[in-house]
A and B are shown apart, each in its own frame.
Chain A
Amino acid sequence: MPWYFYLALKQLFPTGRKFPFFTFMSGLGIAVGVALLVVSTSIMGGFGYEIRRMIVDTQGEIQVVAQGAISRPDEVIARVEKVPGVVAATPSAQGVVMLEYRNKPSFPAIQGVDLATVSKVIQLEKYVRLGSLDDLDDDSVILSASLARSLGASLGSQVELYSPLLIEKLKNDEVFLPRTVKVVGIFEIGHQQLDQSVVISTLRLMQDLYGLGADVHHINVRIKDGANEFEVADAINRVLPGRDQRAITWFEANADFQSVLRFEKYMVFFLLSFIVVVAALSIMSSLLISVVRKTREIGLLRALGGSGRQIAACYCVQGFLLGIVGTLGGLIISWLVIYYRDQIVRVVAGLTVGQRVFLEFYQFAHLPSHTTSFDIVVITVGSIIISTLAGLLPAWRAARLEPVEALRSE
């Protein structure tokens, strides 16, 4: 070990001192900054990841869409399923209906799924909390949890569906009765917006309600694990029969949302990284104080044969070591915070707004977290570099001291 490294270590962790207070305080700033960066990017990443998972679980990675409806969906599906990387495809139709239960109306979104193929693409059964997807037929529906809750409907309830087509028919003085269907399931995805007000029916029921005949609105596509959704979407685009048909990824389908999330993540990252910079500035000032305080010792080291450059290295190494200690501490803190995040949120929410109020604003049932190794590497390397840079000015000051002047100083 070079002597200046040894001395840097000893100045941070003096012999015989159980608790190196200076080192602790200097490292703490960096640790707090790093912890905040890791926790916030993890939580932001968690939201993004959860949203992706929910979207992909409920829509597939890729959707084939068209200007109007997609006619002859079987033909499209047959072509799509031949594309390499595609696992399965299922047709679906979306819309809005009026749903009435005991004279209480609501206007949920409705998704008609093809019972024969839906489970190959969409993980609906995973989210059905009560009842079962197996019970779904053309005379029944599955409600989202909060819709069921607001209507007071439960398993076995009979509800009435009015489609927009009804209004069309009324204009022509035709009689079109609402469909009475039975609730055979309640699902909950875990995202307030996605759970707000949704009905799942069979594709056939949806086609009837919307007068689609055999047409569908979308074809949802599941791809192989690890396949690149953008490449597969391109490949699908090359085989689609209709001119107005287009394969888009979950990312494009939710592009606004995704770019907002990404922008938020960068902003948070940018702002929080200033904490690390401020912490590094405080390291710089305490190392500068240390240079002044240790001027005579620096003179002695020069007298013992140390070069100015080695003295400088001693201070750079201190910045570097403080960076390492602080960053490690920050990683540990952030791991603890992320691990106990739900408990922490509960305590904080309980102390401030109350849990119920909090959850209502809160998009997820659990605070999601998704830490990418890329973020960790950027934060770790960045904060160590910034801390090392903080040692440069003190190092330069120390190296510039003339040995004789340093020894004379009182």
Chain B
Amino acid sequence: MSEPILSARAVRKTYQSGDRRIEVLSGVDLAVERSETVSIRGESGSGKSTLLNLLAGLDKPDAGEVIWGGGLGLDVRSTFLGMVFQSFYLIPELNALQNVLVARRIVGGIGSAERARAKDLLARVGLAERSHHLPSQLSGGERQRVAVARALMNQPQLVLADEPTGNLDERTGDSVIELLLGLCADTGTALVLVTHNAAHAAKTSRQLFLHNGVLQSAPKPIQP
């Protein structure tokens, strides 16, 4: 088996709130292979976002380690990773095309090749005609599709999606997931998808559950 593109080993995270310590992650192990799609489900507050932020290198684990691509540094985050969030996070002053391009701007310069790529991505998420619209002129589903295009702009090896359909109605959510999975499959990009939706999870190659601070491959045991 080839080297995993992302691995987490014995990752722990504890939050201090007041004088209460909450251990949210108590030893998470995860290995994601190239082009693999993994879904993570779990109750609200079970630590899914916390885990995703650790995987993204936005936060540091209290113990354990997260390794990218066999040892890449944090400085490659923007080209190694793409992220999609529940509430889109588009920049309101920029139109759809500019929002997609911003991911590239932060990494380096913009040329005609990058513009063409951004337009192509917008076309692939079905927004070719809307590329000059501001986020405020787009529906929720359209905004999330712009965010998907942005996540893929830098040709990442891995996309982390945190409940990308959480703010969308069911049908819109389905189509966004369809697009995300399709694009990842086309480009050979690995995906970690946090979701509450069993149907969406079922479309990924591996389904995991976060329960009691650890990842497991079966839903939480039914309480007696």
* C-alpha spacing A306/B103, complex, angstroms: 9
Q: Is the CB of A3 within 8 A of B106?
A: yes
B31 to chain A, nearest CB (A): 23
Q: Is the CB of A15 within 8 A of B85?
A: no
* C-alpha spacing A16/B132, complex, angstroms: 9
Q: Is the CB of B94 within 8 A of A15?
A: yes
The answer, yes or no, to whether B56 is at the interface (CB within 8 Å) is: yes
* C-alpha spacing A15/B53, complex, angstroms: 31
**Tier of interface size on chain B:** 20 to 34
The answer, yes or no, to whether B83 is at the interface (CB within 8 Å) is: yes
Q: Is the CB of A3 within 8 A of B105?
A: yes
The answer, yes or no, to whether A351 is at the interface (CB within 8 Å) is: no
Q: Is the CB of A301 within 8 A of B106?
A: yes
CB-based nearest B residue for A299:
B89
Point out the residues of chain A lying under 8 angstroms from B169, CB to CB. Answer: none
Q: Is the CB of B103 within 8 A of A10?
A: no
What 1/0 mask marks residues of chain B from 86 to 103 whose CB sits below 8 Å from any chain A CB?
010101111100100011
CB-based nearest A residue for B108:
A3
* C-alpha spacing A296/B105, complex, angstroms: 19
The answer, yes or no, to whether A391 is at the interface (CB within 8 Å) is: no
The answer, yes or no, to whether A7 is at the interface (CB within 8 Å) is: yes
* C-alpha spacing A170/B91, complex, angstroms: 96
Q: Is the CB of B93 within 8 A of A10?
A: yes
CB-based nearest A residue for B134:
A16
Query: Pick the contact of B91 from A17, A297, A402 — CB < 8 Å?
Result: A297
The answer, yes or no, to whether A154 is at the interface (CB within 8 Å) is: no
The answer, yes or no, to whether A300 is at the interface (CB within 8 Å) is: yes
* C-alpha spacing A407/B59, complex, angstroms: 11
**Tier of interface size on chain A:** 20 to 34
Q: Is the CB of B106 within 8 A of A304?
A: yes
Q: Is the CB of B95 within 8 A of A15?
A: yes
B6 to chain A, nearest CB (A): 16
Point out the residues of chain A lying under 8 angstroms from B102, CB to CB. Answer: 3, 7, 301, 304
The answer, yes or no, to whether B123 is at the interface (CB within 8 Å) is: no
Q: Is the CB of B93 within 8 A of A15?
A: yes
Central interface residue in B58, B87, B89, B93, by most chain A CB within 10 Å: B93
The answer, yes or no, to whether B35 is at the interface (CB within 8 Å) is: no
* C-alpha spacing A299/B134, complex, angstroms: 20
Q: Is the CB of A297 within 8 A of B107?
A: no
The answer, yes or no, to whether A305 is at the interface (CB within 8 Å) is: yes
Q: Is the CB of A303 within 8 A of B58?
A: yes
Segment 1-52 of A: residues with Cβ below 8 Å from B = 3, 6-7, 10-11, 14-17
Point out the residues of chain B lying under 8 angstroms from A297, CB to CB. Answer: 89, 91-92
The answer, yes or no, to whether A394 is at the interface (CB within 8 Å) is: no
Point out the residues of chain A lying under 8 angstroms from B130, CB to CB. Answer: none
The 16 sampled A-B contact pairs (Cβ below 8 Å) are: A10-B93, A10-B94, A297-B89, A297-B91, A300-B85, A300-B91, A301-B106, A304-B78, A304-B103, A304-B106, A305-B79, A305-B106, A305-B107, A310-B106, A402-B59, A404-B53
The 7 tightest CB contacts between A and B, nearest first, are A305-B78, A14-B93, A3-B105, A300-B89, A404-B59, A10-B93, A403-B58
